[in-house]
Chains A and B, each alone.
Chain A
Amino acid sequence: MTSKRLPSGGSVDRAQTIRFSFDGRTFTGHPGDTLASALLANGVRLVGRSFKYHRPRGIMTAGSEEPNALVELRDGARREPNSKATEIELHDGLVSASQNRWPSLAFDLMAVNGLAGSVFSAGFYYKTFMWPKSFWEKLYEPLIRRAAGLGRAASQPDPDHYEAMHAHCDVLVVGSGAAGLTAARAAGEAGARVILCERDFLLGGGLLLSPADESWRKEMLASLEKLPNVEILTRTNVFGYYDHNLLGAVERVADHKVQPDPHEVRQRYRTFRAKQVVLATGASERLIALPGNDRPGTMMAGAALTYLRRFGVAPGRNAVVFTNNDSAYETALALAEARTGKVTLVDVRAQSSLADALTARGINVRLGCEVASFDGKTAMIRRRGGAGGEKIVADLLSLSGGWNPNVQLASQSGAKPRWDATLASHVSGDPVQAERSAGAANGSFGIGAAAQEGAKAGRDAAAAAGFEKASEFALPQPGKAEQPIAPFWEVKAPGKSFVDLQHDVTAADIRLAHREGFSHVEHAKRYTTHGMATDQGKLGSLVGSAILAEARGETVDAVGVPTHRPYTMPVAFGALAGHASGAHFQPVRRTALHDWHLRNGAAMQPTGAWMRPFFYPKPGETGWDPIFREARAVRSSVGICDVSTLGKIDVQGPDAATFLDRLYINTFSTLAVGKCRYGVMLREDGIVFDDGTTSRLAEDHFLVTTTTGNAAPVLEHMEFHAQTVWPELDVQFCSVTDQWAQIAVAGPKSRETLATAVEGLDLSNEAFPFMGVGEGKIAGVPVRLFRISFSGELAYEIAVTSGQAETVWEAILAAGKPFGIVPYGLEAMSLMRVEKGHAAGPELNGQTTAADLGMGRMMKKSGDVIGRVLAGRPGLADPGRPRLVGIRPVDTSKRLRGGAHIVREPSSGTSMGWVSSVTQSIEHNCWIGLALVENGEVLKSQRLFAVSPLHDESVEVTITSPHHVDPENARVRA
């Protein structure tokens, strides 16, 4: 393989050589190369196989619009599929492989798909889906999976790190060509905070192809670097333009290294909130549909110029340049300058004032002609629309069908693209958000025009953001006016003419879509998958629209192009997730006793945002052992539990009691100071929202507790009603969940335990009865005590400021030692609450009323209560609704399942309700449960069945009171 590197020229550092591999072979290149330019320099022509037909493909472009040269980058856990060789910055040790070929790139068995092309024609997915399901699963899917598919993702976890970063600026400039550089400088010199983003690793865009402007580019960069208010981000691709001038981007921080440096991220997801945006995103060249326009050796004219000028690489030996506009003449000249072989320029236009200059350089110019086909070795050239033609030896077919301003971001911002007949393309429409386009992105081609327009856009954007300081700097001269483009989309000749190379969509597929009724551009896109690949239709979207327009007998303008949506290029999930993966996925809350739990062997479990002890296993304990041990200790003696996660809301004000009366279905204005009361609150639709105990600390001061999960929603609910519904009420709220740790001490020995620990409070039943609230000290620490119980035993809860929680917890443990006090976790607590029949999360499920839970009589007789009116609707007041009951298996060896249906007979298809919570009971030595069963009240002591089709189980159960232990509630009052 001979080197295609030209003896001189380009922005690569020829003094240094770096080694890389492709498909296991080692090659060399230079710093400044892309993987694509280095492969071309090494004479690698075949880089991939196409998606459906497995046709051999070569490098087509020099940028993000590349449809063919998709490679797997790196290996092992860092393997990344579908990377564009044209965008990969070459580095020493880079490992890459072609993809979508089997068994090898050169010999691909699946190329036979090309012969069976009709199977894979437009809409084949939809047509195939209509065939029998068994065929699909057994035959077609495995076939298509092997046949069609891009690269392989890594199967191991990604070892690299990612992060997000949010920036703000007065003016965001996207693109660093002539327009972008002048916009950034003008805005920066006006005093605005400017951020300039460039996708490439070099700044300059089209300037990098113009040696004559190199000194001006350097001077611009030097002046930008002097501005402290201008931040320049290279390797940063802006992929989306969202509402309220928010733009998203990915910065490829370490993709040009084998692996990131220590503590360096691989990619950084960036957001920009900009007061003004200048879109200097350039233009993309579009292809011309003709038979063989996908053969290796086909390359866009601008890309060929890029390889010649920027990388000093000859993209071919004998070249045919096929164009309908002036821009490709530069490519023909550059090819001739490189002196690698014969150059022919084919222009569909009958006349061209530039022809003589080319002829003088030895270029064969054919006006009024077209390329009828290309096979990788020869191109067939004929008169426009003629037959036959002349075969010309060519290993490079360079195409230019004109240039599309890159309006994707402007279009995403809401500016509807406008058709420009002079350019035969869309330009960005009237701005909807604070943005403006400049340079080629705005249809102003040529360095001089772009620079001028960019400078004005930068000045205007800065002025709109409030920065008006004037500045002047030299701009390149505007170039000569170009000859008009001749809109030209397709050469009609036999063979496959591609409009989307990555998804193998041909001109014939577009016409088929139209014939089958998918004539709207959005329908045709989805039916053919045209423009849905990773290149997002940059090369051929408009060509497809033109072919559709011809089929419909309408103008391209009338057909339009599919809506541009984010993302403009593929973005890795890892980059979007940033730091928020694994243990950083969501916030974790730790109670003040967290470290004690860890030191004492707790099995911690995330419950919502909180980490809570599930149980405290002892050596040798397995399964339910620790749960039974902890629950038995509470039922027989005393246990201690961290209940700090309960929501706590401080409610104060002269109208606090009135407010709580409206919030809860029961009354709090009658609650005595120093007492607490259980309360239930409804949503306005009459369904139970939350429950908990509320204490009255002073006449105008209450402490509300909520369930752990509802702490935030309840506070929002309270604030909504206080601020918007009853703004006349004088009431203040403040969450104190984090201020107070809360410790439950439960069991028949809890009073004796606390009696030795608590100073300053008489704990006798008479002085401190059930539902009492008092204050005292434990280990010298002021604490608040509540005589409340969740377990069903005699119990207390102790609130202590979180900084002293461990001191108090340890003091209680010491006081309970004579009684064998044990710490108990969430599982034992849950076991005991099911035994006691307390409704919790599974019962407060957003479907149950207070009456359903057996608390209908708590509703006070009169007064405004949130949810009262709608709770009275016939559907919610129906006595036949599922009611909370207990269930126990008739055969006590049987296991119960949460979620099982309650039915009259195992064979019955009619569910009477469901099992909401189950546990193994230490009181009954069998499984017990809570269930919501239609007419549950009247079914007590009847036998029904709990069926779980999922487990293929049917268990005969007796309906009982939900209170499996102490239904008289004597223990808590003992």
Chain B
Amino acid sequence: MHLIPCPYCGERPQDEFHYRGDATVKRPAPDSGEQAFYDYVYTRANPRGWHDEWWHHYAGCRQWIKVRRNTLTHVVAASAGPADALPEATP
């Protein structure tokens, strides 16, 4: 049971959240064509290490927060609100 640091509620157990995955992909403009949408929906880097992810605090503040998590160690380095940016880089 991980602890996810919600920027609004503080550290909360993982079971209050739903996971969505890659928070770096951006929904393309509606006229960007099939390939752009295909990449948005399906193409993922699946990194070993730091990964910016969407987590929905469904049992808490109902915000889609961004969480920077290390997929190898489960260390969480940072989190941010849905429209806020995570820090540039994590060592």
Contact = CB atoms under 8 A, between A and B. Distances in A.
A109 interface: no
Contacts of B33: 869
A872 B56 CA distance: 29
Given A243-B2, A724-B82, A719 B40 contact: no
Interface string B76-88: 1000001100000
B44 interface: no
Contacts of B73: 414, 432
A551 B50 CA distance: 41
A720 B25 CA distance: 13
Sort chain A's interface into a size bin: 20 to 34
B37 A242 contact: no
Given A414-B73, A864-B30, A870 B63 contact: no
B40 A684 contact: yes
Q: Which of A684, A724, A863 has the most CB of B within 10 A?
A: A724
Interface in A705-730: 712, 716, 719-720, 723-725, 727
B37 A244 contact: no
A723 B64 contact: yes
A720 B38 contact: no
A584 B83 CA distance: 39
A723 B3 contact: no
B58 to A, nearest CB: 6
A244 B15 CA distance: 14
A80 interface: no
Given A414-B73, A716-B56, A685 B1 contact: no
B30 A868 contact: yes
A458 to B, nearest CB: 24
Contacts of A725: 27
A243 B70 CA distance: 12
A685 B56 contact: no
Interface in B7-34: 18, 20, 27, 30, 32-34
A604 interface: no
Contacts of B27: 684, 725
B1 A242 contact: yes
Interface in B26-65: 27, 30, 32-34, 37-38, 40-42, 54, 56, 58, 62-64
Given A719-B56, A719-B64, A723-B83, A243 B1 contact: yes
A669 interface: no
A684 to B, nearest CB: 5
B56 A720 contact: yes
Contacts of A243: 1-2, 74
Contacts of B38: 870, 873
Contact of B82 (A273, A727, A865, A872): A727
Interface residues of B, number: 26
A352 interface: no
A725 B83 CA distance: 9
Contacts of B41: 684-685, 870
Contacts of A720: 20, 54, 56, 64
A432 B73 CA distance: 9
A874 to B, nearest CB: 9
A685 B38 CA distance: 8
B1 A271 contact: yes
B2 A716 contact: no
Nearest to A727: B83
Given A414-B73, A724-B64, A724-B82, A244 B58 contact: no
A683 to B, nearest CB: 9
Contacts of B2: 243-244
Interface string A866-895: 001110110000000000000000000000
Contacts of A781: none
A92 to B, nearest CB: 39
Interface in A683-710: 684-685
A719 B82 CA distance: 10
A684 B37 contact: yes
B1 to A, nearest CB: 5
A865 B74 CA distance: 36
Interface in A205-232: none
A716 B34 contact: no
B18 A716 contact: yes
B83 A712 contact: no
A579 to B, nearest CB: 16
Contacts of B63: 719, 723
A36 B27 CA distance: 66
Contacts of B62: 719
Contacts of B1: 242-244, 246, 271
Contacts of A246: 1, 3
Contacts of A868: 30
B78 to A, nearest CB: 15
A195 to B, nearest CB: 17
Contacts of B54: 720, 724
Interface in A235-270: 242-244, 246
Contacts of A873: 34, 38
B20 A244 contact: no
Contacts of B76: 244
A798 B85 CA distance: 45
A869 B34 CA distance: 6
Nearest to A432: B73
A244 B34 contact: no
A800 to B, nearest CB: 26
Nearest to B74: A243
A875 B1 CA distance: 40
Contacts of A432: 73
Contacts of A716: 18, 56, 58
Lowest 7 CB-CB distances: which A-B pairs, in order? A723-B82, A864-B30, A869-B37, A244-B3, A727-B83, A243-B74, A724-B82
Interface of A: 242-244, 246, 271, 273, 414, 432, 684-685, 712, 716, 719-720, 723-725, 727, 863-865, 868-870, 872-873
27 contacts: A242-B1, A244-B2, A244-B74, A246-B1, A246-B3, A271-B1, A414-B73, A432-B73, A684-B37, A684-B40, A719-B56, A719-B62, A720-B20, A720-B54, A723-B63, A723-B64, A723-B83, A724-B54, A724-B64, A724-B83, A727-B82, A863-B30, A864-B30, A869-B33, A869-B37, A870-B38, A872-B34
Given A244-B74, A869-B34, 10 more contacts: A243-B1, A243-B74, A244-B76, A684-B37, A716-B18, A719-B63, A719-B64, A724-B54, A870-B38, A873-B34
Interface of B: 1-3, 18, 20, 27, 30, 32-34, 37-38, 40-42, 54, 56, 58, 62-64, 73-74, 76, 82-83
